[in-house]
Amino acid sequence: MFKKLLSLLLVALLINLAWVRPAHADSKEEKQARHAEKVKAGVLKLGTGEAARVKVKLRDKTKLEGYISAADAESFTVTNPKTGAATPVAYAQVKSVKGNNLSTKAKIAIGAGIAAAVILLILWKVWVDED
């Protein structure tokens, strides 16, 4: 029993190590440019229209809430449905965007939860079969 449990634990650790990526020592401008590209990809993935609801936090601590009414290569426009005020936002100004799609962290958490459930199911099956 102990050997099987130890083997499963080692397999889980090896799988976890495969997902680890090395850290990069980039300059501040490179990090901001990479972040702006991620924001742009996320906004373009959400699309435009009243169904593309977002909450945006800017680097100057301004918060915007509404839907994406337009998006292009350099900026996007957030429109408040209550007031109808349209605010253009450059991708470089954005600190965070929360929208309809799942973030990478949420996808990783879901995957980790499924993996944990599978491991627990295997351990339970091994335990029951030994009795």
Residues 62 and 81 in one domain: yes
Of the pLDDT bands very low, low, confident and very high (cuts 50, 70, 90), residue 101 is low
Residues 95 and 33 in one domain: yes
The pTM of the full predicted model, rounded to 2 decimals, is 0.55
pLDDT at 81 over 70: yes
Candidates 33, 116, 36; CA nearest to 76 is 36
Q: Decide: residue 78, CB within 10 A, 0-12 exposed, 13-18 middle, 19+ buried.
A: buried
Q: So what's the pLDDT on residue 114?
A: 94
The number of domains in the chain is 2
Residues 42 and 61 in one domain: yes
Backbone angles phi and psi of 47, in degrees to 5: 85, -165
96: containing domain: 28-100
Residues 119 and 62 in one domain: no
pLDDT at 72 over 80: yes
| For residues 93-107, average pLDDT | 78
Residues 52 and 90 in one domain: yes
Asked, for residue 121, whether it belongs to a domain, the answer is: yes
Residues 66 and 113 in one domain: no
pLDDT at 24 over 80: no
Asked, for residue 5, whether it belongs to a domain, the answer is: no
